[in-house]
Structure 1
Amino acid sequence: MTDGKTEQSARTRLALIGAAEELIALHGVSAVSSRQISKAAGQGNNYAVGHHFGSKDDLIRATLDKHNASIDRLRQKALDAIASDPQVRDWIRCLVCPEIEYLGGLGAPTYFARFFANVSSDPATTILLYEKMGESEPLLAILEGLYGALPEFPAPVLEMRNNMTRHIIVNTLADIERAAESRDHPVTPWQQQCEIVVDALTGMWLAPTTAAP
């Protein structure tokens, strides 16, 4: 009996994660309530999110965790394969390509990239992303390598280019995911998509600085 309840609870949790991912991807964080997520997951109990996760924020954390473990394995693989004397472009490839590779392997339709973009753009949930970033050892190692390879920038330039990098990666992934749903849209291999983004970000980071320090 206990095993059956545990399995049922695990299935319910996965259903709630799937429903939250899709609804938040399509409508945004603030437009989606825990009750709507419970209903979309086929739960008669309107308080299923609270029962299984505690809060909507905790459900968002669990949704991020569902994907981050696999992305971290790809990040570690990229780190293990990095050149002996890595340059800025090498580190940016480590930053970008695992996420695009992961997304390319999910198939369509998928909602994770758009879910991530909406969580990232909502001031109430952006902090949840930074929490998860701080838990990723491969990601922290990549960022440390990137910052060590960069030219020295004035603090405002570094902050602005950091923000631009995040926006470019997050929103490009959402665009790739959205385009994959369209039968009329030609499918670009993830490897090619990766190189396009890496080229753009490398150019941005190595662009000359004209702003006064």
Structure 2
Amino acid sequence: MDRGSRSKDALLDAAERLIAERGFEVPLRDIAQAAGQRNNSAVNYHFRSRQDLLDAVVARRLLPMELERERMLGELDERDTTDVHALMRVLVLPLLSLESTHYARFLQVVGTRLRTEPHDSAETAWPRVLDALSHAVPVADRRVRRRRVAAVATAMFALAAEHERSAHDGDPEEIVHMLAAMLTATSPRLV
């Protein structure tokens, strides 16, 4: 890896960590210093803007997660399952298995500021899994199913961030189980 690539990776690591810990408004100068850069303009040199830096952090983490989700989804397709727990594993486990200890918290901080959602491309596994989950929810009302799937996605990022904060203490399957329970809970009108 050349010096420029190492510098860029160090900036991405520092941005992910500092934004997760201190918030969106962390000065770019602090990110450059945390990355070992003497030049306070290093972020602008490598990424042009704060927005491009955010997008680069997401892009770097997204590809490995989506490759793992594709692999897991392929195994599900072979078994032709619509098991909610299995589908939740496809969404959750790649996020929880990242080497990073700051990415889920980073997403919580910047989620509303991203140009695009981290998973909104039609080429990713994310929308296919959400669609499958929507069809697997045992509720007839389509609006309720969509609302539950959206709530689960929000809860997933919050639970993943807490998992990071606790230094990965706890069983990822517990998170899968909690999220699956949210999707499959009996509708209040039926209780």
* Alignment correspondent of 1:210: 188
Unaligned runs of 5+ in 2: none
Listed as ranges, the gaps of 5+ residues in structure 1 are 1-5, 182-186
CA distance in 2, matches of 1:144, 1:163: 11
Aligned residues: 185
What stretches of structure 1 move > 6 A for 4+ residues in a row? Answer: none
Identity rate of aligned residues, in percent?
29
Task: Tell me if 1:73 matches 2:59.
Answer: no
In structure 2, the partner of 1:133 is 119
Choose 35-44 or 55-64, whichever is displaced more.
35-44
Q: Tell me the residue number matched to 1:35.
A: 29
Equivalent position SS for 1:81: helix
The answer to whether residue 82 in structure 2 is matched with residue 91 in structure 1 is no
- 1:85 maps to a residue whose letter is T
Q: C-alpha displacement at 1:158, in angstroms?
A: 4.0
Q: Indicate the RMSD between aligned Cα atoms, in angstroms.
A: 2.3
Contact residue 78 and residue 98 of structure 1 kept, 8 A: no
Partner residue of 2:44 out of 47, 50, 61: 50
Would the aligned equivalents of 1:79 and 1:138 in 2 still touch at CA under 8 Å? Answer: yes
Q: Deviations over 1:66-101 (max 9, x none)?
A: 11111112101210221323233322222222222x
Question: What is the CA–CA distance in structure 2 between the aligned matches of 1:43 and 1:98, rounded to whole Å?
Answer: 31
Report the TM-score when normalising by structure 2.
0.84
Partner of 1:116: 107
Distance 2:9 2:82 in 1: 39
Using the size of structure 1 for normalisation, the TM-score is 0.76
Look up the match of 1:10. Answer: 5
Aligned-partner residue type, residue 206 of structure 1: T
